[in-house]
Amino acid sequence: MPALIVGGCGGPLSTLDVAGPAAGHIATLWWVMLGGSALLTLLTLGLLALAFRRGPRGARNSRLWIGWLGLAMPSVILIALLGYALMLGERTIARPSSNVVTVEATGHQWYWTFRQPGANGTIATRNILHIPAGQPVDVRIASADVIHSFWVPRLGGKMDAIPGLTNILRIEASDPGLFEGQCAEFCGLNHTANRFQVMAHDAESWAAFQRGEE
């Protein structure tokens, strides 16, 4: 059973099998929230066990159990989790930087197109996004028809593609590789097939791609 549970944490669309710093922040928050929820669950079960064990004689101490253990302690845990989530959220915001690569992603029914500057002009691709490894990438996300959602679980969070609006999501791959992405918002009958890939290049391969040699 433990092997099956651990096996479910991996795979091409796993948010826990991280391959970049933005995805790492999200996975860390997931583990922290899991720990906090487990602590709250144990506290609740402990209070329930004490209630059955003490019976009516424990009624005079109800203020202690309800006030301190029932309200104060969960509040402290929840506030700590919220503060930690806000701190990590600040780290994942797309901030100005001198080495950020900017690409455009457009969701369609049911495919994705990508545009980015190259050495000889704009490079357009379909269902595969090319990025440099080890470098932050700002994805400018838009939609050509209905609401979609851009999501590469191993590289970062997800962001909606809304008609008439451009959203920006920062992703980054720590090492070269091929990563799976998908639309995370129901967008029609072929929604499940609305997938794409992200190819993270090393320096040499990235230079060749920008020259149009790949």
Q: pLDDT tens-digit profile of 152-169?
A: 999 988 899 999 999 999
Give the tens place of pLDDT for each residue, 198-214: 999 999 999 999 887 76
48 and 112 within one domain: no
C-alpha radius of gyration, the chain, whole number: 23
User: What pLDDT is recorded for position 62?
Assistant: 59
Phi then psi for residue 104, to 5 deg, are -110, 130
The Cα–Cα gap between 178 and 180 comes to 7
Cis peptide, bond prior to residue 151, ω within 30 of zero:
no
Q: Strand, coil or helix: what is 82? A: helix
52 and 74 within one domain: yes
What are the distances in angstroms from CA 149 to CA 29, 110, 130, 160? 21, 12, 18, 4
The Cα–Cα gap between 186 and 151 comes to 13
106 and 37 within one domain: no
The terminus-to-terminus CA distance of the chain in angstroms comes to 44
pTM of the entire predicted model: 0.77
Phi then psi for residue 99, to 5 deg, are -115, 25
What one-letter code names the amino acid at 77? I
Residues above pLDDT 70, as percent of the chain = 80
117 inside domain: yes
5 inside domain: no
Domain termination residue (choose one: 58, 92, 126): 92
Is residue 123 within 8 Å of residue 199, measured between CB atoms?
Answer: no
Domain termination residue (choose one: 92, 112, 139): 92
User: What pLDDT is recorded for position 75?
Assistant: 78
63 inside domain: yes
Domain termination residue (choose one: 92, 114, 144): 92
203 and 105 within one domain: yes
User: Model confidence at 1, in pLDDT bands (50, 70, 90)?
Assistant: very low
Q: Quick one: average pLDDT of 192-200? A: 95
Is residue 22 within 8 Å of residue 179, measured between CB atoms?
Answer: no
User: What pLDDT is recorded for position 157?
Assistant: 86
| Domains held by the chain: number | 2
- Sheet with strand 148-151: strands edge to edge: 128-132, 195-201, 177-183, 148-151, 158-161
The Cα–Cα gap between 89 and 85 comes to 6
User: Which residue did the predictor score with more confidence, 199 or 35?
Assistant: 199
143 inside domain: yes
Query: Which of 64-68, 108-112, 125-129 is least confident?
Result: 64-68
181 and 120 within one domain: yes
User: What pLDDT is recorded for position 89?
Assistant: 66
117 and 33 within one domain: no
Which tokens sit at 2? 């433990």
168 and 110 within one domain: yes
Q: Is the pLDDT of residue 41 over 90?
A: no
User: Model confidence at 107, in pLDDT bands (50, 70, 90)?
Assistant: very high
User: What pLDDT is recorded for position 140?
Assistant: 95
Give the range of the structural domain holding residue 154, as residue numbers without chain letter: 101-210
126 and 38 within one domain: no
Scanning 93-170, the segments in alpha helix (DSSP H) are none
Q: Is the pLDDT of residue 194 over 80?
A: yes
Q: Is the pLDDT of residue 67 over 80?
A: no
